[in-house]
Amino acid sequence: MSPDEWERRIGELWEDADVSDDGRIEAMLTLANEAPHPALGAFELGGAFDSAGREFEAHAQYEAAADAGLADVDVARAAQLAVQHASTLRNLGRENEAIAMLRDAPAHATVGAAPAVFLALALHSAGRHDEALRVAIEALEPTLPQYRRSVRAYVAELTAE
């Protein structure tokens, strides 16, 4: 199967709202085995497990994708991996690992401010509420048409010692 055909089939599977979680995982297992690169297959399979709430399996696949060199194969998916894997780690109660991963997450247009949003969630889960609020507001601040200077001043107060 050509890489373009594989990408088309991956897209169709994700867009199919009628497929069950188990059906998506089964179809994704097949597609992962036919992936143009092992890192791509592991990433997409991790996402299928993740969307089904099967965090342990997702974590294993996300690690496999990173170990197989996803960052060298597809920078957009590597940025998505940081968000998705960190979210999975947070759901597994491993907030500090999620925080570290999100702080180092690569920037990419496909994820926008998502790393900051998920960082705020991980910080909140870790009980670091003021820092979580600061990160969330900082992610929104550039989009404000007014009050940016005021917002920056208030944000600075949230975690000032």
Domains of the chain, each with CATH number or no CATH: 3-111 (1.25.40.10)
Arithmetic mean of pLDDT, 49-77 = 97
pLDDT confidence of residue 158: 79
Averaged pLDDT score across all residues of the chain? 94
Nearest residue to 125 (alpha-carbon basis) of 82, 90, 85: 90
Residue 37 scores a pLDDT above 80: yes
Centre a 10 Å sphere on the Cβ of residue 13 and count the other Cβ atoms it contains.
Answer: 17
Arithmetic mean of pLDDT, 114-122 = 96
Arithmetic mean of pLDDT, 74-98 = 97
Q: Which amino acid is at 143?
A: T
Q: Which residues contact 89 (CB under 8 A, 6 or more apart)?
A: 59, 95, 97, 98, 101, 122
pLDDT confidence of residue 113: 93
The band of 48, judged by pLDDT with boundaries at 50, 70 and 90, is very high
Residue 161 scores a pLDDT above 80: no
Residue 160 scores a pLDDT above 90: no
pTM of this structure: 0.90
